Structure 1
Amino acid sequence: MYDIEKIKATRELLKCSVEKSRKLGVEISERSWRLESCEQRLDFLSVALRDLSCKCTLYKMSTHDIDRVIGPASSVVNIFDVICGFETSLSNDDVSEDVFAYVTTVKRMEEALGLLTDNCKLVVSWLDTGSCCDSSLYVRKVNKCLSIVRGLQGTEERFRSKGGVLMIALDKVEVEYASMLRGIAPFSVALPDVIRNVQRVVERLGVNGRVEKCMSVYVEVRGLNVRKALEGFDLDYLEEISLTEFDSVLSVEHYIDQWDKQLEFVVKYLLDTEHRLCVEVFRKATFKDRCMECFARVAVQSGIHSFIKFGNTITKGKKEAIKLLKLLDMFGSLNKLRSDFNRLFSGRACGEIQTQTRDLIKKVVNGICEIFWELSLQVELQRPTSPPVDGSVPRLVNFVVEYCNQLLEDEYWSTLIQVVEIHQGWNHESFEKGLLLNEMQNIVTALGLNIGTWAKRHEDASLSYFFLMNNHWYLCKYTRGTKLGELMGNEWLTGHEEFMEYYETLYLKESWEKLPALLNEEGLVLFPGGRAIDRQVVKKKLKEFTEAFDEIYKKQSNWELCDKGLRWRIRQLVLRVVLPPYSSYLEKYASSIEFEVTTTADQRIKYTAKTLGNMITCLFEPKVGKYGNSTKCTELSDMVNNSFVTKQLSSTPAAA
């Protein structure tokens, strides 16, 4: 079975080979007939020219006249013979095997055809003059020569017409041209030999009226290469994303970072390589002044317009602080690529790209300045809002401090200075760096006024003081040693530190410092000078203390302090205020009532000193993630006991 299939396949192969051989034989026969016909005509022309020379001598024509016709006529014979050789080479040779040799042959054929045409014109003009002789035989031979030369005179036109030898050869060169361009990979520098061959091909196509075709092939091939090079990138977002003035850029923040990296890659690497290749390819072409048209069209294929469109989309988003940072990022990216843009997209051919880029930069600069000069106003507009009910640092305070520090970083700050200077120049206004520093201070000042206004909205005085203490600590702690702290100055930092201690004192006085007074010894002794203790008064005072403690603890158990250090400090101060008098009271009087209290639950002592200490050390914890990882409330509870408290509180700074 296998042998039969193999025989069938072999038979089909032989049939195909026979058919190809038959067609080749027909083609060879046709070419042989053409060559034989040309040879016969040339032989006749040679004989006729010799006879013509004899006749000219017989009729006593001048030697000068003879030479004028014989020379060009002989050239016609020789040139046509050369052309036939070129025709054979161009028809049989494979252009891809040796591009240089093939293109050289094309060039030589063009030159030979030009010489043939010129010489035929000369011969025809002189033969026309000689046809006036009386000899009828002579006239017939001259007319025969004229017929042959005129036929040869149309050789160039036939070769250049559709289906002609030269046109077929140029078509083959054009195909090889596309193949060579396709073989030059993106980001790579083509070998000098490859570039030279492409230049020769471009030159030949150009002088043969194929300028537009040459350019379109270049754009098609290199544009396809560029698109393939970008296939690994997800560029759909450039066209798909849209924003209005009410949409936040937060929703597309990650795309902006992606845009930055991809734009740099496309311009500095992909288009830079394509630009250098385009300049090299068309450097020697007769139409080299149009090479930037090709590059501009290739650049469009890379999606450069889509990158610019995405930038314009971002500028349309809502005016907000985060947008300012993203616009600064975009300006930094565009500014970093400025020299590349100027070099790659110069000239009229890239005029549209230039215009769109300038328009984008203008929108980015205007957007940055509009948002920056309104930042303090935006902070002020938050003043009517309500403060956090837990006395914590408002998100706006946290955001503004971090935001200002970020804005003052060297990269952002230098970019902002550059942008504002450009904007002032556009408006013919003088630029002063101090204007920006003053505006940054205005933002922080507006934030301080917000904090004071928010504190007044707390009806509970202790919560108001707690809130102010918390926020002044935050401003002092989280700006010291930062760019913002340097800008605001040491006096500003010291002022917040003093305010924090002041409100700390008021907070303790308004809340925890009221508890010790409930454990005074007034009314505990039954008889003057006696040692008997009124147990009911002891229990009453403990109950009042416990109820007051529970009320404060319940109210403040949800309050939050922003910083681990501040939490430790305030807990220590509360422990110092509450625990020593409570421990002392229990030490003196608990035994007298414990002996009596044995059955009823509501008569037992609710808290031991250690329990009370453990509860206090768990106060003011923030919610997880609000200011970072919350501190475990057990960090102090295991160490709290009467002896520890007595020892530690002796070294704790006084609240005042």
Structure 2
Amino acid sequence: MDRIPVAPLKSSSFSAATTREDKLARNLSLGPIKLNEQTKEARQEKADNAGGGEAAVDAVPEEASEPDLATLLAEIDAFLAAHRDGEAPPAVSEVTLDKFASAVEQEIAPGEGTDDKWAPEVPGEAPPLLAAIRGIAALASALTETQAEGGKYTIGLHRVTGVLHRAMTFVEDEFHALLEDPRVAKTAPGGDNGSATSKAMKRPPSFGHGAEPDRCVIPSDGSGAGDASPPFPPETVDRLRAMAEAMFVAGYETECTEVFLVARRNALDASLQSLGYEKSSIDDVVKMPWEALETEIATWIKAFRHTVEAGLPGERDLCARVFAGDRETLGRDIFVDLARCAMLHMLNFTEAVVLTKRAGDKLFKVLDMYEAIRDVAPAVDAFVAPAVGDKASALDDLKHELASVRTRLGESAAAMFCDLESSIRADAGKQAVPGGAVHPLTRYVMNYLKLACEYKNTLEQVFQEYHRPDDDGHEAGGGGGGPFVAQLMEVMELLHGYLEAKSRLYKDPSLSSIFLMNNGRYMLQKIRGSPEINAVVGEAWSRKRSTDLRQYHKNYQRETWSRVLNLLRDDGVITVKGHVQKQVLKDRFKQFNTAMDEIQRTQGAWVVSDEQLQSELRVSIAAVIVPAYRSFLGRFSQHFSAGRQTEKYIKLSGEDLEAIIEELFDGNAVSMPRRRT
């Protein structure tokens, strides 16, 4: 049914919130008065035409123009029935039209009674208010057609269509308020606080009256955001269905669907706000510091999952229940519009994140977003199907947008991981790490790879879809094939080569070996301490690195302590033909003391941060040097006279030597201790 034109009425059904109730009350109170004046004028005109003047008017009893309710209803029903059957309808008096319009006004008057006018009096029948609106809508339509054919109901048509317009204003406000907060259904209609009409005063204008159709309206009032999108009980859905039916029979289908869209968009926005998610422009996101953006991404993921897993399925159910039966297709179309608006707003955020400056630290949050979109794809397919016509095209656009955003996130993630390789190659620093400690890049890369391996399946999927063309020739590591594993192993080998190159910055070969031991041990500890990265790297790679560590250890022992051990050997120079060459012996003790002083001074400043490696080094050194020195002392110390000569050449006891070894690799250079007594 087409919407009934109401040309004489200039007030909008979406008038300002601050004057709505006043206008409605004023219309209800003045309508009958105006009509009575017009009716009297009509009577006077008929009397004049009859020649009776004022006396003729007075001759007509007032009671004759005011039939009882049964007569009124019978007259209206007869008029409508004849009109429906295409017959010449019987005449209906202006007073009858006025009284019928007044009855409808009483139904929509705020605060009238405490009964629920949207609840059917008899199960299965239409609610009283819906029946009244159906009647006045049918009457308005019939009067309009009659008037177009030269009818005589100008005054009655104005009165009926005016009441119909006000009725639609009332229904629309109730509809919007109940959609935004179903709790208003639990408030008695006569109450001022929490009634649907009073709540409706706070809503924004509906579509078609100054609002933008494609715009998702954010509620002007934040009340109720903490428990946004509350469930709709059956009795509330029945109310909404009756309200929608009332608007449809009056020809207000467009207003009904637009109000529904606005209200539910507001409710979805409120539910997101209750989760801490606020919509931001792309420019705002691009300019946001990473620390703030990281928090926003976490909030976005929570809000996105809530929207897809709870919010939109709930909206789909509500649309299906309110627009049931013959309007099922309309309900699906409305839901597709809701879903598309909600999803596109959220996907704009991901587009902005992709546009931010690329950095390795952002990889894992980007992967979190990628996983969120990937994981909800089946749910999106389920809750928006089936759609037909233009809405099917809109649905295809939404699916395409989801796939497009996921692709861009995947490409960004793959590029960020590959940037790790580039950052290693780009580090051309010539400054050695003091004390041979673990290189900062080693710590960064290994921790990065450890965390990356926790996303192994996702990164493998990303690299399968978006890996670079030159990745095809990469060999996979021991943990299994795949482009991500190949890329990770390349990074590991690149880091190993980088450390080998950095070790050559040390002039002391012993310190070079300490540096390689520190970094190799750190890498191995990270691999073995993480099942994820250990599974990717494989046992073969770990065994190879363990072998390298043992070789570094041997190199250190050889470079540092082999020279010291040679000083403690009698190689045929100290003892000649059974006689000790005292000067040679003195020189040997001097050389040993100097060597130990140098080792303590330098290697005491070297760093071995891993306690187990530090202990292993000290034990291995002591196991070789201390017994050799004790044996040397026992064999040759008696060749020095007691007193100054002994103190001059024998500066260390066996215990002193042990103490020196125990202080190596602490990062603190100290002088050689005095001989213990």
* TM-score after normalising by structure 1: 0.67
**Identical aligned pairs, as a percentage?**
20
Higher mean alpha-carbon deviation, 342-351 vs 572-581, is at: 342-351
Which blocks of at least 5 consecutive residues in structure 2 are unaligned? 1-25, 44-59, 68-81, 111-115, 119-126, 183-226, 669-675
Contact preservation (8 Å) 2:275, 2:299: no
Change beyond 3 A, Cα 1:44–1:26: closer
Distance in 2, Cα, partners of 1:26 & 1:487: 83
Residue in 1 that maps onto 2:607: 560
Residue in 2 that maps onto 1:616: 661
Distance in 2, Cα, partners of 1:618 & 1:557: 6
Task: Compute the displacement of 1:314 (Å).
Answer: 2.6
Residue in 2 that maps onto 1:89: 103
Distance in 1, Cα, partners of 2:143 & 2:601: 113
More helix by share: 1
Residue in 1 that maps onto 2:186: none
Distance in 1, Cα, partners of 2:468 & 2:576: 91
- Of 240, 250, 254, the residue aligned with 1:198 is 240
Q: Does 1:229 align with 2:279?
A: no
Contact preservation (8 Å) 2:133, 2:250: no
Contact preservation (8 Å) 2:272, 2:278: no
Contact preservation (8 Å) 2:319, 2:332: yes
Q: Which amino acid aligns with 2:228?
A: P
Residue in 2 that maps onto 1:53: none
Q: Which amino acid aligns with 2:237?
A: I
Q: How many residues align?
A: 542
Name the SS of the counterpart of 1:188 in structure 2. coil
Name the SS of the counterpart of 1:178 in structure 2. helix
Name the SS of the counterpart of 1:619 in structure 2. coil
Q: Does 1:309 align with 2:328?
A: no
Contact preservation (8 Å) 2:517, 2:552: yes
Task: Compute the displacement of 1:590 (Å).
Answer: 6.2
Change beyond 3 A, Cα 1:455–1:264: same
Residue in 2 that maps onto 1:98: 117
Change beyond 3 A, Cα 1:539–1:236: farther
Higher mean alpha-carbon deviation, 249-258 vs 557-566, is at: 249-258
Distance in 2, Cα, partners of 1:206 & 1:40: 41
Distance in 2, Cα, partners of 1:85 & 1:425: 80
Change beyond 3 A, Cα 1:458–1:357: same
Residue in 1 that maps onto 2:17: none
Contact preservation (8 Å) 1:379, 1:447: yes
Change beyond 3 A, Cα 1:183–1:441: closer
Change beyond 3 A, Cα 1:321–1:174: closer
Q: Does 1:276 align with 2:317?
A: yes
Distance in 2, Cα, partners of 1:450 & 1:376: 11
Residue in 2 that maps onto 1:183: 181
Change beyond 3 A, Cα 1:580–1:116: same
1:518-565 Cα deviation digits (max 9, x unpaired): 34568999998679x95x877664443233112122222232335332
1:240-264 Cα deviation digits (max 9, x unpaired): 75448xx996774444333322322
Distance in 1, Cα, partners of 2:469 & 2:35: 75
Q: Does 1:208 align with 2:235?
A: no
Change beyond 3 A, Cα 1:249–1:110: closer
Residue in 1 that maps onto 2:625: 578
Higher mean alpha-carbon deviation, 113-122 vs 313-322, is at: 113-122
Distance in 1, Cα, partners of 2:468 & 2:573: 83
Distance in 1, Cα, partners of 2:551 & 2:367: 40
The 5-angstrom pairing of residues 388-399 of structure 1 reads: 388-399=433-444
Residue in 1 that maps onto 2:305: 264
Change beyond 3 A, Cα 1:405–1:31: same
Name the SS of the counterpart of 1:189 in structure 2. coil
Residue in 1 that maps onto 2:496: 448
1:559-603 Cα deviation digits (max 9, x unpaired): 2335332222111011123322334455566688694249x9x95
Q: Does 1:403 align with 2:404?
A: no
Distance in 1, Cα, partners of 2:537 & 2:614: 26
Task: Compute the displacement of 1:201 (Å).
Answer: 1.4
* TM-score after normalising by structure 2: 0.65
- Of 476, 487, 494, the residue aligned with 2:543 is 494
Distance in 2, Cα, partners of 1:157 & 1:286: 31
Name the SS of the counterpart of 2:436 in structure 1. coil
Contact preservation (8 Å) 2:437, 2:606: yes
Contact preservation (8 Å) 1:292, 1:350: no
Task: Compute the displacement of 1:414 (Å).
Answer: 2.0
Distance in 2, Cα, partners of 1:495 & 1:257: 40
The 5-angstrom pairing of residues 420-439 of structure 1 reads: 420-423=463-466, 434-439=482-487
Change beyond 3 A, Cα 1:168–1:475: closer
Contact preservation (8 Å) 1:219, 1:297: yes
- Of 136, 140, 146, the residue aligned with 1:109 is 136
Higher mean alpha-carbon deviation, 413-422 vs 568-577, is at: 413-422
Residue in 2 that maps onto 1:507: 556
Task: Compute the displacement of 1:288 (Å).
Answer: 5.8
Name the SS of the counterpart of 2:232 in structure 1. coil
Task: Compute the displacement of 1:216 (Å).
Answer: 4.2
Distance in 1, Cα, partners of 2:587 & 2:90: 139
Change beyond 3 A, Cα 1:274–1:487: closer
The 5-angstrom pairing of residues 523-542 of structure 1 reads: 541-542=588-589
Change beyond 3 A, Cα 1:243–1:556: farther
Distance in 2, Cα, partners of 1:516 & 1:399: 39
- Of 401, 413, 426, the residue aligned with 1:368 is 413
Name the SS of the counterpart of 1:577 in structure 2. helix
CA RMSD across the alignment: 5.0
Change beyond 3 A, Cα 1:425–1:447: closer
Contact preservation (8 Å) 1:186, 1:270: no
Distance in 1, Cα, partners of 2:237 & 2:542: 67
Distance in 2, Cα, partners of 1:583 & 1:237: 77
Name the SS of the counterpart of 1:262 in structure 2. helix
Task: Compute the displacement of 1:118 (Å).
Answer: 6.8
Q: Which amino acid aligns with 1:572?
A: V
Task: Compute the displacement of 1:153 (Å).
Answer: 6.9
Contact preservation (8 Å) 1:392, 1:467: yes
Contact preservation (8 Å) 1:113, 1:155: no
Task: Compute the displacement of 1:105 (Å).
Answer: 0.9
1:584-636 Cα deviation digits (max 9, x unpaired): 455566688694249x9x9596554334323422433489xxxxxxxxxxxxx
Distance in 1, Cα, partners of 2:599 & 2:354: 51
Contact preservation (8 Å) 1:76, 1:116: no
The 5-angstrom pairing of residues 119-130 of structure 1 reads: none
Residue in 2 that maps onto 1:142: none
Change beyond 3 A, Cα 1:205–1:430: farther
Distance in 2, Cα, partners of 1:430 & 1:208: 70
Distance in 2, Cα, partners of 1:76 & 1:85: 15
Change beyond 3 A, Cα 1:398–1:586: same
Task: Compute the displacement of 1:297 (Å).
Answer: 6.0
Q: Which amino acid aligns with 2:354?
A: T
Q: Does 1:337 align with 2:380?
A: no
Name the SS of the counterpart of 1:98 in structure 2. coil
Residue in 1 that maps onto 2:91: 76
Change beyond 3 A, Cα 1:219–1:120: closer
Name the SS of the counterpart of 1:76 in structure 2. coil
